[in-house]
């Protein structure tokens, strides 16, 4: 029996322990997410896994985790979620993997800066509103697979260097046999081998995901040269998809490493070619029926769906601080290119922030695609924030205006078309927008003022200020001879 077949029935600590014994597992790995969105972990021998541990938790130092506790209040607890138990797909030693929630050891309450807890609260708030009882999420997280990367930053130098056997810049190399067949700039979408050298690698990633219980729809090469890829998971509920996306990134990186390659979800590692986005498909359901579909509506959308879009568009500047949360994100989100920077919706226009896929007229397949996010985000925070923006749109009947089924570049502010608002142009602008507009995130206690303040402070202190203090290599090209 495969891991995926077994884990569907695991619900209690007793069942997880029995599963670990049946599979001959030797180690248990406790994983949890820090505030920026990276998995952290520590491990123990399988004998340490008891039913009491699932109830009492296991301690760790919260002051050593990004965005968590101060040194004088560092003791924290991890409480494993038995429903997340799988055989770790990246370990040679047979290992049980458990995703954990973070608790305060004094109050025995969930930790408010635990992003997974925020996602759980978002799902609870959705039900509390009575609008819907389930939200479904389908992120399309793109990534690059390189053969070499190096980078450094000192007081007197800075560098980065990327290489890929697929990179079109290697078409003229003469260091050995050069066999050609490389995707040209912006021509990497869907070529077969030998141009696509990563078919088997992606297939192995897909099989690892399936073994871990994550259903996958398709995989393919993406637009950029040098190994840009995409693997599309089947949609799932909010917290579950957050778990799946964390597992997705973990498997992609480790399968690449096992083959002597390196995978990155950095939004814009290459200049002059497409960056890696994460278009997020989302829909609301109630009592087993979809709420976003109406065959008589524009693009098959219901009025509720249009209000949801209205909320996404209204709050998009603030959302960007959570869904495109790095300085590098805004090298991808540049007006005039393919990036979805325009705060409009459309069933056709891929430069619109919100697109409505038109591949089928099945109401159960109808969804809204928000195209601004990228895979550098913390998925639990990003999905929760998008849900809260959409719900605010429904609650306040926010009109998204007319759809933009026209060429945004040719008709910007002309021919009777209204000027199009755009997403913030930088992370500092997005953080300022979040500070000015976040009341919608606080509803139902889903986000807290403390979490948002910590997020903004962390981004400014750890990313924006360090970047501001350092000269950029290109500045030497521009200004050395002044």
Rg of the chain, C-alpha, whole Å: 23
Element (H, E) at 129: helix 115-129
> What does each C-alpha distance from 257 to 148, 264, 299, 364, 466 come to in angstroms?
11, 11, 43, 38, 29
Q: Would you mind telling me the total number of residues written for the chain in this entry?
A: 482
Cβ distance 64 to 74 under 8 Å? yes
Active site residue 350: yes
Active site residue 279: yes
Contacts of 297 (CB under 8 A, 6+ apart): 303, 305, 306
Beta strands 228-233 and 236-237: pairing type? unpaired
Q: Give the CA angle between residues 269, 246, 376 to the nearest 5°.
A: 30
User: Which member of 221, 279, 315, 367 is catalytic?
Assistant: 279
Active site residue 429: no
Active site residue 369: yes
Report the candidate in 228, 222, 245, 366 with the shortest Cα–Cα distance to residue 294: 366
Burial label for 2, CB within 10 Å (0-12, 13-18, 19+), is: exposed
User: Which member of 29, 222, 273, 374 is catalytic?
Assistant: 222
For residues 46 and 51, give the distance between their C-alpha atoms in angstroms, rounded to a whole number: 12
For residues 138 and 128, give the distance between their C-alpha atoms in angstroms, rounded to a whole number: 23
User: Which member of 34, 140, 196, 463 is catalytic?
Assistant: 140
Active site residue 61: yes
User: Which member of 142, 147, 166, 463 is catalytic?
Assistant: 142
Angle between helices 379-395 and 238-258 (to 10 degrees): 150
Active site residue 412: no
User: Which member of 22, 61, 457, 465 is catalytic?
Assistant: 61
For residues 299 and 301, give the distance between their C-alpha atoms in angstroms, rounded to a whole number: 5
Structure tokens at 113: 């800066």
In angstroms, how far is CA 29 from the centroid of its own chain?
A: 23
User: Which member of 230, 243, 273, 463 is catalytic?
Assistant: 230
Taking residue 235's Cβ as centre, other Cβ atoms within 10 Å add up to: 20
Structure tokens at 23: 């599979």
User: Which member of 371, 374, 438, 463 is catalytic?
Assistant: 371
Active site residue 475: no
Active site residue 457: no
User: Which member of 108, 350, 468, 470 is catalytic?
Assistant: 350
Taking residue 27's Cβ as centre, other Cβ atoms within 10 Å add up to: 18
Active site residue 338: no
Q: Which residues are catalytic?
A: 61, 140, 142, 222, 230, 279, 350, 369, 371
């Amino acid at each position: 029996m495969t891991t995926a077949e077994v884990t569907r029935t695991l619900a209690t600590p007793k069942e997880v322990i029995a599963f670990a014994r049946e599979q001959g597992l030797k180690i248990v790995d406790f994983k949890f997410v820090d505030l920026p969105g990276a998995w952290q972990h520590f491990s123990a021998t399988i004998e340490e896994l008891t039913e009491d541990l699932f109830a009492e938790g296991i301690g760790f130092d919260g002051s050593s985790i990004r965005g968590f506790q101060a040194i004088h209040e560092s003791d924290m607890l991890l409480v494993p979620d038995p429903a997340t138990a799988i055989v770790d797909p990246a370990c040679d030693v047979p290992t049980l993997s458990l995703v954990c929630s973070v608790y305060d050891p004094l109050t025995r309450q969930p930790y408010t800066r635990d992003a997974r807890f925020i996602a759980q609260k978002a799902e609870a708030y959705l039900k509390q509103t009575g609008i819907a009882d389930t939200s479904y999420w389908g992120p399309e997280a793109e990534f690059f697979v390189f053969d070499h990367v190096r980078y450094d930053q000192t007081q007197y130098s800075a560098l980065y260097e990327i290489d890929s056997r697929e990179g079109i810049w290697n078409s003229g190399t003469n260091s050995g046999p050069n066999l050609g067949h490389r995707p040209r700039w912006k021509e990497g979408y869907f070529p077969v081998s030998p141009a696509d050298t990563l078919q088997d690698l992606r297939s192995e990633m897909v099989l690892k995901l399936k073994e871990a219980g994550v259903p996958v729809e398709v995989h393919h090469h993406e637009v950029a040269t040098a190994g840009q890829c995409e693997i599309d998971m089947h949609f799932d509920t909010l917290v579950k998809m957050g778990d799946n996306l964390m597992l997705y990134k973990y498997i992609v990186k480790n399968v690449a490493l096992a083959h002597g390659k390196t995978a990155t979800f950095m939004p814009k590692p290459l200049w002059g070619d497409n960056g890696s986005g994460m278009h997020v498909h989302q829909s609301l359901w109630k009592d087993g029926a979809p709420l976003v579909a109406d065959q008589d509506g524009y693009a098959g959308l219901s009025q509720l769906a249009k209000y949801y879009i209205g909320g996404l568009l209204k709050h998009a500047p603030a959302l960007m601080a959570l869904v495109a949360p790095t300085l590098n994100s805004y090298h991808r989100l540049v007006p005039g290119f393919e990036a979805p920077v325009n705060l409009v919706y459309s069933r056709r226009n891929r430069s619109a922030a919100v697109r409505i896929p038109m591949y089928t007229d099945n109401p159960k397949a109808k969804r809204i695609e928000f195209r601004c996010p990228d895979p550098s985000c913390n998925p639990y925070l990003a999905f929760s924030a998008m849900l809260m923006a959409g719900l605010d749109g429904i609650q306040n009947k926010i009109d998204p205006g007319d759809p933009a089924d026209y060429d945004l570049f040719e008709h910007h502010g002309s021919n009777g078309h209204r000027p199009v608002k755009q997403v913030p142009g930088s992370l500092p602008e997005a953080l300022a927008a979040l500070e000015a507009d976040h009341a919608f995130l606080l509803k139902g206690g889903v986000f807290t003022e403390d979490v948002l303040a910590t997020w903004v402070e962390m981004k400014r202190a750890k990313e924006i200020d360090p970047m501001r203090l350092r000269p950029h290599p290109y500045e030497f090209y521009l200004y050395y001879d002044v």
